[in-house]
A and B are shown apart, each in its own frame.
Chain A
Amino acid sequence: MNSHLFVWLARRRRSLVAALLLALAPGAPAATVEGRVTLPKTRTAPVVNQRYEIVAKAGVLSTNPPVAVVYLEGGFPRPATPPAAEIRQKDLTFIPSLLPVQAGTRVEFPNLDDTYHNIFSFSPPKRFDLGRYRADERPVPAVLFDQPGLVTLRCDIHEHMRALVLVLATPHFVVTDATGAFRLTGLPEGRHVLKAWIDSRTTREHVVELRGGEVQRVDFP
């Protein structure tokens, strides 16, 4: 065992023990939290710059309504095999426009449009540039998000395109629906901090005491 792994295991001893106990007790009842996050107003739809692309296809885009990510804070162990997720590029938008993932997740970026996209990020947790690739190219370009933090995705060709990847240290997260309602299941017992990420500047939190088999209601005003 190399020294880095030893240090990593030592630092995460408490989390690992908790995870091990959880794994060894498959019958242990898990807790559930449900509630509602008050969301900001709907954002305005983007305007597509078509100045020099003189042939345009109407330029009307659909946008996702505002949503929030509710997650249980904590240093949970990473899964043995990297989980997979996907952000598609369709009709000149990213779908979904907000993707929460656990650190160590591999995200694929299939291009479903008949034009090029060029996804890039200059965000400190993950800097990358996938370049331009066609819809039929295999393997689909992917990025491993290994550091927790907020990663802003953009397209170098279509400047209005934006998406966020919220890389979390926890596997316990859920995206609210458009009304802000959420239900987070399979949670470990104990005292935890429940957070609601609303936007890059706003995260609300609530301390919860979870007991197996119980359903708690938490609202984020």
Chain B
Amino acid sequence: MKLLRRGLLVLCATTMLRGADAFFDRLEQALTFSAVDTQVRARLSGTLELEGYDFQRPPPGVIDAPGRRLFNPRLSVFVDAQFGPTLYGFAQVRADRGFDPRAAPGELRLDEYALRFTPWRRGVLNVQLGRFATVVGNWTNRHGGWVNPFVTAPLPYEHLTGIWDTEAVRSPGVLFQWARVQPGQPAEVTAIEKTLRVPIVWGPAYVPGVAVSGDIGRFRYAFEAKLGSLSSRPEAWGHAREQRHHPSWGARLGYRPSPTWDIGFSASTGSYLREFADPELMPGFGRGDYRQTVLAHDLAFAWRHWQLWAEVYAARFEIPGVGDADTGAYYLEAKYKFTPQFFGALRWNRQVFGRINDRRGQPVRWGHDVWRIDLAPGYRFTPHTQLKFQYSLQRGDSDGREHTRLLAVQFTQRF
């Protein structure tokens, strides 16, 4: 009887979703506008994401919550507009509890906006101005909830290091404390410090700036000048003026021998400190001397029902008077479609930390090496509706000894 009830429930839900799918198809048509003989066209689209997290204290990655569970709804609305063959613009508005999952009141933000000028149809040159995702690496192309097979980002995009962006490190001991290399910090202190620390790349890094890009044969190039480093936090992205004297520079050179393979090399450099850090800088140094320099290599493979991605990051945070804090991270990610609707993904992440001399001149690792494995099955009920689960097991992070786990679920309705 119970089985029958569940079966009926699934049947009703599926029927409703199919009905809703026809509605979303019509909605999509209704949200497309055109004028001037279709030379000007615009489209509204979006996603509604309902996320749930279950984790151990302290919360992993960029999740910020006082308890062990978090519900995080998010509505993202996109505007794509084409003005003739040469001008394209887009914007993204989000209503959620913060850019990253957190226990906070709801807010409405304009996360992305940009205008792109493409003078020639062949696409050898594009100039883009606005606030948009970084050109570095290959994860930003698939960071949206609908296309990302996981709920969370890869380790280099969310694992918080011991570097703060609001205060400059004045001695190795301070860095070791911030990175919790010195034992004895309770988990709750770690949780509070989460609001101060930064990763190698903060998510898609929607930082204001300008980008120049293009396709030349099988090569693809992109350069960007941004008002914030890759590690800058979402709160800083909307305050570009504070970084106007310290722009960050980034580039990616890609090679696509065939649609199956995409290989890229990226680099970025820029100041990782915000203006709050000015009073604490080492005498004789400016904010521009506290640089984050990143080198990255990315690889993507796709064929039939397989998709594989990999990225390797090498990052250096220069700390005048203390030394260079080096860290490296990589991940390998695979996705496979078992049926037209059921898919699964597996990701192996690793981040390691270099050494800095302590007061006695002894080299000490400035962070705990971390590994994490993510497993994510997902199902698309309709072309507009998707459900994903994620289980993550991590070693390292808070105190370098215990394994921590994360369970996440994400329901996505796109329109």
**Interface residues in chain A, defined as those with a beta carbon under 8 Å from any beta carbon in chain B:** 43-60, 114-116, 120-122, 127-129, 131-134, 152, 154, 200
Task: Output the least CB separation between B288 and chain A (Å).
Answer: 27
B214 surroundings in chain A (CB, below 8 A):
55
**Shortest Cβ distance from B222 into A: residue:** A54
Q: Does B215 contact A (CB under 8 A)?
A: yes
**Shortest Cβ distance from B122 into A: residue:** A57
Task: Output the least CB separation between B272 and chain A (Å).
Answer: 24
Q: Does B112 contact A (CB under 8 A)?
A: yes
CA of A121 to CA of B21, assembled, Å: 13
B302 surroundings in chain A (CB, below 8 A):
116, 132
Per-residue 0/1 for B14-50: is the Cβ within 8 Å of any A Cβ (1 yes, 0 no)? 0000000010000001001110001001110100000
Q: Does B362 contact A (CB under 8 A)?
A: no
Max chain A CB contacts within 10 Å: which of B38, B126, B215, B337? B38
The answer to whether B85 and A51 have CB atoms under 8 Å apart is no
Among the listed stretches B74-82, B179-187, B234-242, which one makes contact with chain A, having 4 or more residues with CB under 8 Å of it?
A: B74-82
Task: Output the least CB separation between A97 and chain B (Å).
Answer: 14
**Other-chain contact of B303, A44, A122, A133 (Cβ < 8 Å):** A133
Q: Does B121 contact A (CB under 8 A)?
A: yes
**Interface residues in chain B, defined as those with a beta carbon under 8 Å from any beta carbon in chain A:** 22, 29, 32-34, 38, 41-43, 45, 78, 80-82, 85-86, 88, 90, 92, 112, 116, 118, 121-123, 126, 128, 132-133, 135, 140-144, 211, 213-215, 220, 222, 258-260, 302-307, 337, 339-341, 380, 382-383
The answer to whether B80 and A48 have CB atoms under 8 Å apart is yes
B337 surroundings in chain A (CB, below 8 A):
129, 131
CA of A128 to CA of B88, assembled, Å: 33
B305 surroundings in chain A (CB, below 8 A):
129, 131
User: What would be 17 A-B contacts, judged by CB atoms less than 8 Å apart?
Assistant: A44-B33, A46-B32, A47-B43, A47-B81, A48-B82, A49-B45, A54-B128, A54-B211, A54-B213, A56-B123, A58-B121, A59-B85, A114-B259, A127-B340, A127-B341, A131-B305, A134-B258
The answer to whether A122 and B380 have CB atoms under 8 Å apart is yes
CA of A122 to CA of B379, assembled, Å: 12
A51 surroundings in chain B (CB, below 8 A):
78, 80, 90, 92, 112, 132-133
The answer to whether B90 and A50 have CB atoms under 8 Å apart is yes
4 residue pairs, one from A and one from B, having the closest CB atoms:
A131-B304, A129-B340, A47-B43, A44-B34
Task: Output the least CB separation between A1 and chain B (Å).
Answer: 34
**Shortest Cβ distance from B32 into A: residue:** A44
B380 surroundings in chain A (CB, below 8 A):
122
10 other contacts beyond A54-B126, A58-B123, with CB at 8 A cut-off? A47-B42, A52-B142, A55-B213, A56-B116, A57-B122, A57-B215, A132-B304, A132-B307, A134-B259, A200-B22
B86 surroundings in chain A (CB, below 8 A):
58
A121 surroundings in chain B (CB, below 8 A):
340
